[in-house]
Structure 1
Amino acid sequence: MQNSKLGNPAVVGLGGFGLTTLLLQFHNLGWVGLGPILAMGIIFGGTAQLVAGFLEHKMGNNFGFAAFTAYGSFWIGLGIIWILNHLQVYPSSHSDVGFFLVAWTLITVIFWVGSFFIHTAMFVTFASLLAGFVLLDLAHFGFETLNTAAAIVLIVCALAAWYMMAAIILNDLAGREVLKVGKPLIANK
């Protein structure tokens, strides 16, 4: 049987996560409507991340499997909330969405802690995601002015995800480390 190199599914997952996160922050800053975010949230941020997560499972990467399937589901779920609101079917209030975000903040804490064992770029991505979720939580429960701060922090998060995607692609193509991702904050065993 021939051993052939497999592609790294994280490039698609990170690409989808970064793109949809970036687009949503453009919306939160008032620069773009929901249409492009809904489309990319369902297709690239949602479906493509789910596929990437399932492929990470096949590669034996529990962190990638859990993270990509979770955040792929987040994007599809958020898209469904927007569609149901638009159609006036099971509409969600501002605080309903706030509780949705609080739940995602809590699961993000688990991934953030897990990122300590991976590398610095992963830690930066999850630290900024966690900070962005906390700011969004507060914004949904009475501190609306924090939406702008959340958008800025989450733009950093999106760019950090793309940095990891670029590191995987470019380091593989160059056959050496062109873009550094750093060491784990906590060494494995």
Structure 2
Amino acid sequence: MSTTKLGNPAVVGLAGFGLTTLLLQFHNLGWCGLGPIVSMGLIFGGLAQLIAGFMEQKTGNNFGFAAFSTYGAFWIGLGIIWLLNNFGVYVSSTTDVGFYLVGFTLLTIIFFIGSLFIHRAMTFTFATLTIGFILLDVAHFGFPEATPVAAIVLIICAFSAWYMMAAIVINDVAGREILKTGKPWIQKS
């Protein structure tokens, strides 16, 4: 048996998810253009999360494998939608993007349920992500005034993801639990 310590791929996945989510919300609040989000969506939120997901699979973590791979694909897909729209190829309407978001909202609800068995920080992250997706769904189907509310909720979600990343990194280098993530809402049987 190998005693080599491996890095936790969740740190990269959570960092990429948090940063890309945060930047998109800055855009949704009108603070920045779409360019940085497309770049981060394809590389850090997309490719890096996808790689983190594949690495989670090698550790036997089905939740991390599914979540990071799903949201990595989400960001790559969204970046491609924006690029196709920009160049006038297969243009997607606001409603088209709304249906894209609804699909990921439904997947997010599944991850939220799974998060109840992990720890409270994970549950909080997926609760805010679920609420944020629902608000974005509503915004894309005729109620754009929901967008700034979604942005605030998703900024909280992004910081929550970073908190989990920080807990993994800081607790590891400190050799003890400094940042707590809480017990699961539902105990495994």
TM over 0.5, yes or no?
Answer: yes
Alignment deviations for residues 137-166 of structure 1 (CA, whole Å, 9 cap, x no partner): 001111110100000000000000000000
Moved over 2 A (4+): none
Within-5 A mapping of 1:106-145: 106-145=106-145
- SS of 1:4's equivalent in the other structure is coil
Say whether 1:61 aligns with 2:61.
yes
User: What residue number does 2:93 align with?
Assistant: 93
User: What residue number does 1:8 align with?
Assistant: 8
Alignment deviations for residues 113-155 of structure 1 (CA, whole Å, 9 cap, x no partner): 0000000000000000000000000011111101000000000
Question: How far did 1:2 drift?
Answer: 4.3
- Overall identity of the aligned pairs, in %: 70
TM-score norm. by structure 2 comes to: 0.99
User: What residue number does 2:82 align with?
Assistant: 82
Alignment deviations for residues 43-73 of structure 1 (CA, whole Å, 9 cap, x no partner): 0000000000000000000000000000000
2 CA distance for matches of 1:123 and 1:2? 33
Say whether 1:41 aligns with 2:41.
yes
1 CA distance for matches of 2:106 and 2:58? 26
- Stretches of structure 1 lacking an aligned partner (at least 5 in a row): none
TM-score norm. by structure 1 comes to: 0.99
Query: CA RMSD, aligned part only?
Result: 0.6
